[in-house]
């Protein structure tokens, strides 16, 4: 296999110009094959409050121009150990949520094939459901590591079963998730009722609440995560609203009292060595962002995810 093609060399071609792909990586059409694809899903028809996450993928790409090839925290070069390419965006119908979910599912299936890993840039959290369907086809029930202020295990909104607050209940009903090895991280904020937590627990999910970070050292929380996920195939779903609105103002349903970006990046690094088979970063809504704060946080989260992926068989 050829050596991976990495990002455009920013010591020769200034990073503020030219094509806008994630981390200035090549597009899929520019490589012979890819181990890992960064894929955009510009879709926000499932949101319950502020819209705008449809602009998330391109905002995160634009905010990723300063990423560099060497990751000192993990002593790795994520774009040299695997071929990562930007697969562009899926074409989704903004007026028909069911059709959009099918298009995301078939697009993900086609792109990932039998071998490639997919990391997806949202889009609202609805998109995790079709993405999990495709992961399940390949790996069976996956251990879900869900970073979010919200449980997203609610049943319906306004009678609708497919929304950004309901993907993990639908995924549980469809048998896509191995609940006993799954976990929410960063949960906080007022709920509709106490039963919301009970129902999530009944689905099997453990939870690290945001307030736990005030008392537990981060290494203990990483240990809890690793013990829970074990050697299962792990799917990581990162709702950027897991971060405090001070670290991620550009999102649709912000909740006070969240994680810092430093905490999130440390947690992701703490997953190194686990069998992470796919991931998404969702809910970036640039209209409420300032100075790319949210876009930069999301792009760095994705960079850490790429850094912990097992090196594509090379």
Ligand X SMILES: N=C(N)NCCCC(=O)O
Binding-site members for Mn(2+) are 125, 148, 150, 152, 239, 241
Q: How far is CA 252 from the centre of its chain?
A: 16
State yes or no: residue 283 binds ligand X (CB under 6 A). Answer: yes
Q: Which of 150, 184, 232, 300 binds ligand X (CB under 6 A)?
A: 150
Tokens representing 185 are: 């991280």
Residue 251 Cβ vs Zn ion, minimum distance, rounded to whole Å: 7
Within 16-63, residue ranges assigned H as helices are 56-62
Inter-CA distances, 16 with 61, 230, 294, Å: 12, 41, 18
Q: How many CA atoms lie within 13 A of 55 on its CB side?
A: 17
Q: Which of 35, 178, 239, 292 binds ligand X (CB under 6 A)?
A: 239
Give 5-13 contacts, CB < 8 A, sequence gap 24+: 5/30, 5/31, 5/83, 5/85, 6/69, 6/79, 6/80, 7/67, 7/69, 7/79, 10/65, 10/68
Q: Which of 10, 48, 93, 275 binds ligand X (CB under 6 A)?
A: 48
Residue 138 Cβ vs ligand X, minimum distance, rounded to whole Å: 24
State yes or no: residue 170 binds ligand X (CB under 6 A). Answer: no
Window contacting Zn ion (CB under 5 A); options: 129-137, 141-149, 185-193, 303-311 = 141-149
Nearest to ligand X of 4, 42 (CB atom): 42
Can the peptide bond before residue 123 be classed as cis, meaning omega within 30 degrees of 0? yes
By a kind-dependent CB cut-off of 5 to 8 A, residue 280 interacts, out of ligand X, Zn ion, none, with: none
Look at the block and give the residue holding tokens 């989260």: 301
Residue 26 Cβ vs ligand X, minimum distance, rounded to whole Å: 31
| Binding site residue list | 125, 148, 150, 152, 239, 241
Interacting residues with ligand X (CB under 6 A) = 48-49, 125, 150, 152, 164-165, 239, 241, 252-253, 283
């Amino acid at each position: 296999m050829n050596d991976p093609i990495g990002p455009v060399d920013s010591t020769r071609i200034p990073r503020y110009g030219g094509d806008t792909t994630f981390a200035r990586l090549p597009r899929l059409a520019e490589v012979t094959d890819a181990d890992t694809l960064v894929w955009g899903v510009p879709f926000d028809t499932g949101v319950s409050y502020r819209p705008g996450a449809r602009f998330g993928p391109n905002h995160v790409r634009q905010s990723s121009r300063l990423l560099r090839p060497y990751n000192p925290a993990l002593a790795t070069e994520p774009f040299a150990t695997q071929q990562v390419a930007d697969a562009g965006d899926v074409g989704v119908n903004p007026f028909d949520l069911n059709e959009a979910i099918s298009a995301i599912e078939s697009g993900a299936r086609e792109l990932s094939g039998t071998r490639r890993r997919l990391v997806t840039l949202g889009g609202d959290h609805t998109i995790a459901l079709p993405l999990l369907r495709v992961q399940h086809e390949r790996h069976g029930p996956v251990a879900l590591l869900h970073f979010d202020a919200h449980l997203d295990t609610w049943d319906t909104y306004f009678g609708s079963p497919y929304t950004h607050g309901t993907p993990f209940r639908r995924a549980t009903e469809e048998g896509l998730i191995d609940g006993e090895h799954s976990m929410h991280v960063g949960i906080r904020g007022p709920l509709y009722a106490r039963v919301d937590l009970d129902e999530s627990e009944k689905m099997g999910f453990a939870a690290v609440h945001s307030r736990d970070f005030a008392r537990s050292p981060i290494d203990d929380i990483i240990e809890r995560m690793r013990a829970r996920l074990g050697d299962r195939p792990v799917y990581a779903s990162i709702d950027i609203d897991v971060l405090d609105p001070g670290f991620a103002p550009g999102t649709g349903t912000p909740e006070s009292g969240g994680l810092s970006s430093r905490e999130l990046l440390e947690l992701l690094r703490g997953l190194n060595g686990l069998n992470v088979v796919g991931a998404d970063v969702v809910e970036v809504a640039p209209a409420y962002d300032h100075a790319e704060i949210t876009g930069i946080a999301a792009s760095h989260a994705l960079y850490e995810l790429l850094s912990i992926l097992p090196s594509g068989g090379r």
